[in-house]
Amino acid sequence: MVNLNSGGILGAIVFARHADRIESFSSPTTYATFNTFITPLGTHDAFQSGTYLRAQYLSPHSPTFISGISTDIVNIHEVLVRADSSGDGTVFQQSVTAVVQGLFPPTKEYRITLADGSSVQGALGGFQYVPIESVEMDQDVSLNGLLSCPNFDQHVADLEKSELFLAKGREALPFLQKLHPFVGGRPIDFSFMFNMWDFVDVQMQHNSTYLRHVPRGYVNQARVLADFHDGYAFSDPKPDGIGNIGTRVMLPSIFSSLARIANASDPLKLAVNGISYKPFISLFNLTEAIVENPEVRGIENYNSLASLELRAGPVEPMVNLRFKNGTAGIFKPLKMFGKDSVPLSEFVARLSPVAINSTADWCKACGQTTLRGCASVAL
């Protein structure tokens, strides 16, 4: 039974980039990362994201209130929370935990009356324990299709050799030579652009000596170059291209959650996914959001949120996309396929042909035969 109730929205699927963390050094060819950890600032900002989402979706006074959702005490059947556990997985887990704490904060209403008439409040002032599924890279590709994907690595390598990138590298070289003393000994090759920018950005946030000495404007110049590099690396001009695999692996869970939200007999109303910035890039590419809003192409700020909202429509539910770029941002609508909202059936029809539906599909698309479960599947 399709849910066509009017008022508010039917539900939402939220993608949350992790918040502030210590520096992450990524391989320029495989994008494998060293383990990093969220900072106290990161937990503070991620909690604020949860508070923001609460105001958007759990406040009856909000125009985007999710109709029928439990607002004070979480109903765990209405909420699905998942976090990528590959690469910087600790950061994703910690960050989404803080988001959920803001979304469903401690409440004095979380209590129970016992048989003897006494009342006991939940621990930590009524803290609410919301289950978070850890999506392990060796068991599930659905939140990170990039790691250990040889064909994606080749995609990046081919970009690095393209005239587009070689020309941009030559153009950037004078600036990179000036930047060299401020990148901690990292190579100033354009292929390391994310690592150089990330080092500068993290140091400017957490190292007061560095902040006093780095020239003004360097972090912004480095960010523009990193946006250029990663905007191409994590997308593809062909919808079924390997550069879009960061979102292609997420599509089946997106379709499933939207179908569940649309089904009035299913309790699911809100899905939250803790991910890196990389799938955001291909999401905006595949939905053609970058056509109307080219400013969203590139690296999203810490603590960014993207939300696919399902609304009641005259014939069938409608899907719309909103994006919040970082802690200080607010949700802004993005057009998908040139439209403010898209019928659910059209959304699925446009994107299902490029979905990676199983580990076996991922292994085939990536040309992987041994890692991430590929040794046990028949290609």
Q: Are residues 128 and 179 in the same domain?
A: no
Q: Are residues 84 and 32 in the same domain?
A: yes
Q: Using CA atoms, how far apart are residues 13 and 307, in angstroms rounded to an integer?
A: 6
The predicted structure's pLDDT at residue 7: 53
Residue 315 DSSP code: S
pTM, entire model: 0.94
Q: Using CA atoms, how far apart are residues 348 and 256, in angstroms rounded to an integer?
A: 10
Give the residue from 233, 251, 271 where a domain finishes: 233
Q: Are residues 139 and 177 in the same domain?
A: no
Q: Are residues 192 and 99 in the same domain?
A: no
357: in domain: yes
What are the residue ranges in the chain where pLDDT is below 50? 4, 6
111: in domain: no
Q: Are residues 360 and 251 in the same domain?
A: yes
Q: Are residues 260 and 358 in the same domain?
A: yes
Q: How, if at all, do strands 342-343 and 318-324 pair?
A: antiparallel
CATH number, domain at 286? 3.40.50.1240
Domain count, the chain: 2
113: in domain: no
Q: Using CA atoms, how far apart are residues 252 and 271, in angstroms rounded to an integer?
A: 13
The predicted structure's pLDDT at residue 88: 67
pLDDT digits (tens, 9 = 90+) for 329-352: 999 999 999 999 999 999 999 999
Residue 354's alpha-carbon distances to 12, 32, 116, 172, 331, in angstroms, are 22, 24, 59, 35, 27
378: in domain: no
Find all residues with CB under 8 Å of 249, minimum gap 6, and list them. Answer: 141, 142, 143, 144, 145, 356, 362
User: Which residue, 277, 300, 297, is CA-closest to 289?
Assistant: 297
DSSP element (H, E) containing 90 = helix 89-103
Q: Are residues 66 and 202 in the same domain?
A: no
Q: Are residues 182 and 328 in the same domain?
A: no
Q: Which domain holds residue 253?
A: 11-106+122-147+240-365
Q: Are residues 67 and 181 in the same domain?
A: no
Give the pair of three-digit tokens for residue 315.
């014939």
Q: Using CA atoms, how far apart are residues 321 and 310, in angstroms rounded to an integer?
A: 9
The predicted structure's pLDDT at residue 4: 46
Find all residues with CB under 8 Å of 116, minimum gap 6, and list them. Answer: none
Give the residue from 178, 207, 233 where a domain finishes: 233
Q: How, if at all, do strands 270-275 and 79-84 pair?
A: parallel
Amino acid at 324: K
Q: How far apart are the first and last CA of the chain?
A: 37
Q: Using CA atoms, how far apart are residues 127 and 247, in angstroms rounded to an integer?
A: 33
Give the pair of three-digit tokens for residue 117.
């008439």
Burial grade of 186 (CB within 10 A; 0-12, 13-18, 19 or more): middle
